Each structure stands twice: as C-alpha cells, then as structure tokens.
Structure 1
Amino acid sequence: MTTRTWFITGINSGFGRELAEQLLDRGDRVAGTVRRAGSVDDLRQKHGDQLWVGDLDVTDLGRVRAVVDAAFAAHGRIDVVVSNAGYGLFGAAEEVTDEQVEHQIATNLLGSIQTARAALPHLRAQGGGRLIQISSVAGLAAHPGASLYHAAKWGVEGFMEALAQEVAPLGIGVTLVEPGGARTRFAGGSVRIAEPLAAYAGTPAAFVQTFRANPPALLGDPARMMARVIESADREPAPLRLVLGSDSYQAVTAALRARLAQIEPQATNAASTDA
C-alpha cells in the first residue's frame, strides 16, 4: 500500500469527513480544510501531526490559493488534491434568489476551479500528482428542480474534462467522481431549498419541497464510495470519470443514450450548414 499526502476541501462532514478518516486510519497524511473552527478536533486528537487543518470557505476565492500554498509549504509534496466542498441548492430556476445563485456557483463551481488552479503550479513543480473532483450524477444527468445545482456541476465537468487534457503531458491525472445518492448529511443538512412559488405547485420541479422532510431512499454507502475513490489514486492512467452507485450508473447511461438519440438523427441537417 502506497502512503500518500492528500489535500481535501471540506473535511468536517459528508464525503470529505469519510475520506479523511479512512486515509488517516490507513496511515496517510491529510491536509484538510474546514469552514467551522474546531469541527475536526477529534481527528486532530486521534491522529496528531498526520492531520493539518486550514480554515477555508471556498467562496473566498482569494484565500483558496493562500491555503493551498500553505498546505504545500507545510508538507513539501502533496500527491492528491481533492476538491470536495459543496452543497445542493434546489428549487425551480425562478424560485431561487440572485444571492442563492451567486453563492451556489461560487461554492460548487468557482471554488473547485480555484482549488485546481491553485494546486497546479505545485503539482507541476513536483513532477506530477492527481486532481480528484467530487462531482455528482447531477453533473451528467439533469432533473427539474435542481437547475442551479446542475449549472455548477455541469460547469465543473466541462472544466475538469478540458483540464485533464491540458495537464496529462505534465504527469497530472484528473478524475471526476460521479456519486449517486449517498447516506451522508447532504439530504438533511447540506441542502438548501428555495422558497416555493405557487405557479410550480404540482409540476416536476415541486418535488424538492419535500426533499428534506421526506428524503428519498438512498442506496450509496459513503464508506464504500470513498474507498473506491482512494483506490482510484492507484490507477494509471487516472480514470477520467468514476461512477459510484447503481442509481448513478443507470441515470448517467440513460441520459447519455437519450442525448445520442436526439443528436444522431441530425447528421444530414448538421452537414447542410457546411460551406
């Protein structure tokens, strides 16, 4: 088993917490970020110098680089950088406020972009490494009532897929993780629901209004999911996408097939615009 040093945003709960615990228990070093001071004191007490903690809200884009730089300075080398911090904003596009839109994009998209950009000079200087982006089934398959969440996740999918091609010659691998529903605090604590408009009552988008009170049955085991993420760091070349959960696999493959079915009949029409 290879011992590594990992940088992970958002280790106080959910996937980030699970990933950090597994890595620390197996002897790896973790540089993790939290928004709430003291939220991982138990891990510090248990693992001591194995765990380095930086205070970071990824919407503070200027501070992202400072914290990433500090983590690399403290450890000399970081093998894997995991962009995990994020949350779900649900509601019809018309129901969410401008402030909610801006915060969702700043957290789930711009925070991830800046984390990767801040890490790249260090990864290049050390001759390689791995970038892992915790995305979602929502990055490849869309559902009414989650348009802004999809906007951020689809944006990060495009960014990371292009970035993977840019940095492959530099020895840097990129992986997008596509988990389906998982039994984390996401449904109960990390989801924000827009105030409903009567116009959307009874429409497909209205399902989100009962999401927190009656969350759907979730298949995914966070511990197993993060174990697969850890295993992916040993794979060469880095898998561009890591689909986790049978629900994710089914939704993603159905969405891709539907997209092809819409596009493939257009070959003649598409060619008709060539000069």
Structure 2
Amino acid sequence: MKRFRFPGGTAVVTGAASGIGAALAAELASRGMRLVLLDRDAAGLARVHSGLSDVDVTTHVVDLSDAAAISAVAQRVPDVRLLVNNAGVALAGRFDEVTLEEFDWLIAVNFRAVVHLTHALLPALKAEPGSHLVTVSSLFGLIAPGGQAAYSASKFAVRGFTEALRRELTRDAVGVSVVHPGGIRTRIAANARVGSGVDRAELVAGLRRIDRLLRMPPERAAQIIARGVERRNPRILIGADARLLDLASRAWPRRVP
C-alpha cells in the first residue's frame, strides 16, 4: 500500500477539544488536511477551532455515548480520507467499586462509539482512494493492571476490533492503525469519573502516582501518530513505556500486570 497522502483530504477526529485530539487536529492541519472535529466539550472545541487559522474546519458538539447523535453527525460528513477514533474517558475504581451503569457508560464512549462511527463512515472511507482508519487504544490495551477493569476491557476491545478490521479492509485498500499511547500529558486521569465505591484517600494517592507517569506532551504524540499513518503502520506505540511493556507482556506474560 502506498504512503498516506494528507494534503487536500478530510480528517474526522473525535475527542478533539483537548489532549491528543487537539494536538492531532493541529498536526493534520499543518499537513494540509480539512478537519471535522467532534467532542462534547463545546468551549474546548471553540478554543481549538480559534487556534487553527486559514484551515477548513467544521466542529460538531456531540455526546459519543449517544448512537443516534453519532449517526446524525456522520450523515453530515460527505467525504473522509482519515478517521481518527480518539475520544476516551476513564473510570477510577476496581470492578467491585463501580456500578454496572458506570461500567456501561465507559464502554459506550470508549468502544461502542468507535464501532458506531466507524460503521457509519466506512462507506465514505471505502469510496475515498488511499483512505485510512485509526483507533486509539491505550497502554492498557496491551496490559491489564488491577484497578483498571473497565478501562482495560474497553481498550482491549478497541484493539481486537481494529486488528480484525485491518484484515477485512485489505481488499478495499483502506489502511488501518491501532495506537497504544503510554504516559501522555493529558487530563484523562484527572477528569476520570470516580466509581461509587471508591475510597477518596486511595483515589488521591492513585492520581498522584499516575500524574508522575504522564510525561510526553500530546503534540509529540500527535507527530508520532501522523508519521505512523503516513507509513501505514498497523500498530503505533507511543513512548518508551508502551514499547517496553508491549515487549515484556509478550516475553513474560505471567510477570506483567
């Protein structure tokens, strides 16, 4: 498959109001793409939009846990060369500390929204020569530590879904990449929903530990993703932590969380 061509194409990016999504919007704009940006954060989307001068940008405020809203937005996107399913949320707490409603909410945003939007835009991707599909999994789509049952379940699901699609879409010449970011300096952990049964003192201590691991700026992560898309890399590992844990999980599966 030839390298991905950015100039002149339309990129749809979810979770574009902050973090990796916002950084990726700027990176793709610098490479000459038109942008369709989705997020539930209207103010954040407006800030991102205002920072993109001389770029063709359309924004949609949408709750990605709402399948009907996803379908409505997809109908307003006439052509797509690049779809980036980046939006994600976190849920603090062990499985026995969260309710099933909280668990289902996370699955709806992190996995079902990926399925729904990809299904809705797949005809457009197939119709666009040289198109590419990206899903953002996680370091916790490679390993599954305790306290991350809901999040890991969603990100392993994203990984499996994407790897199956890669094989299915080969005959349609649609490139497919799954991204596994390590410690990226975003606010997903700080903004995490807290399980109903979580001890608050444990939560504060856990957030402090996580914060120390979030080192890479999202702008650097966006550059790595764009380079991986250009090269049609099937897996894009971001950061030394992701690369080392991926290797360790395969070499010593019983010793890695």
| Structure-2-length-normalised TM-score | 0.88
Report the Cα distance in structure 2 between the residues aligned to 1:219 and 1:128, rounded to whole angstroms.
34
1:223 partner letter = E
Would the alpha carbon gap of residues 155 and 43 (structure 1) be closer, same or farther in structure 2, given more than 3 Å must change? Answer: closer
Q: Which secondary structure does the structure 2 equivalent of 1:58 belong to?
A: coil
Pair 1:171-2:179 in alignment: no
Deviations 1:174-225 (A, max 9, x none): 1000000111112322x22324467xx9xxxx96552335533323221111
Count of residues paired in the alignment = 249
**What stretches of structure 2 of length at least 5 have no aligned partner?**
none
Q: Which residue of 1 aligns with 2:89?
A: 87
What does residue range 12-51 of structure 1 map to in structure 2 within 5 Å? Answer: 12-45=17-50, 46-47=52-53, 50-51=56-57
Task: Identify the match of residue 146 of structure 2 among 140, 144, 147.
Answer: 144
| Mapped contact 1:136–1:177 kept (Cα < 8 A) | yes
| Mapped contact 2:93–2:197 kept (Cα < 8 A) | yes
Q: Which secondary structure does the structure 2 equivalent of 1:52 belong to?
A: strand
| Mapped contact 1:43–1:51 kept (Cα < 8 A) | no
What does residue range 3-14 of structure 1 map to in structure 2 within 5 Å? Answer: 3=7, 4-14=9-19
How far does residue 258 in structure 1 lie from its aligned partner after superposition? 2.4
Report the Cα distance in structure 2 between the residues aligned to 1:42 and 1:194, rounded to whole angstroms.
30
Would the alpha carbon gap of residues 165 and 212 (structure 1) be closer, same or farther in structure 2, given more than 3 Å must change? Answer: same
| Structure-1-length-normalised TM-score | 0.82
| Mapped contact 2:182–2:239 kept (Cα < 8 A) | yes
Pair 1:244-2:238 in alignment: yes
What does residue range 71-150 of structure 1 map to in structure 2 within 5 Å? Answer: 71=77, 73=78, 77-150=79-152
Task: Identify the match of residue 211 of structure 1 among 206, 213, 231.
Answer: 206
Q: Which secondary structure does the structure 2 equivalent of 1:141 belong to?
A: coil
| Mapped contact 2:185–2:218 kept (Cα < 8 A) | yes
Report the Cα distance in structure 2 between the residues aligned to 1:216 and 1:42, rounded to whole angstroms.
27
Q: Which residue of 2 aligns with 1:193?
A: 194
| Mapped contact 1:127–1:170 kept (Cα < 8 A) | no
Report the Cα distance in structure 1 between the residues aligned to 2:39 and 2:113, rounded to whole angstroms.
14
Decide which structure has the larger Cα Rg and report it. Answer: 1
Task: Identify the match of residue 224 of structure 2 among 228, 231, 235.
Answer: 228
| Mapped contact 1:79–1:130 kept (Cα < 8 A) | yes
2:57 partner letter = L
**What stretches of structure 1 of length at least 5 have no aligned partner?**
263-275
| Mapped contact 1:89–1:193 kept (Cα < 8 A) | yes
2:247 partner letter = T
Q: Which residue of 1 aligns with 2:76?
A: 70
Deviations 1:214-245 (A, max 9, x none): 5333232211111011112221xx22211111
Report the Cα distance in structure 2 between the residues aligned to 1:253 and 1:60, rounded to whole angstroms.
36
| Mapped contact 2:184–2:216 kept (Cα < 8 A) | yes
How far does residue 167 in structure 1 lie from its aligned partner after superposition? 0.7
Q: Which residue of 2 aligns with 1:52?
A: 58
The one of the two structures with greater contact order (alpha-carbon pairs below 8 A, sep at least 6) is 2
Would the alpha carbon gap of residues 15 and 230 (structure 1) be closer, same or farther in structure 2, given more than 3 Å must change? Answer: same
Deviations 1:34-64 (A, max 9, x none): 2133432234344366111112111111221
Q: Which residue of 2 aligns with 1:184?
A: 186
Report the Cα distance in structure 2 between the residues aligned to 1:106 and 1:124, rounded to whole angstroms.
25
What stretches of structure 1 move > 6 A for 4+ residues in a row?
none
Q: Which residue of 1 aligns with 2:158?
A: 156
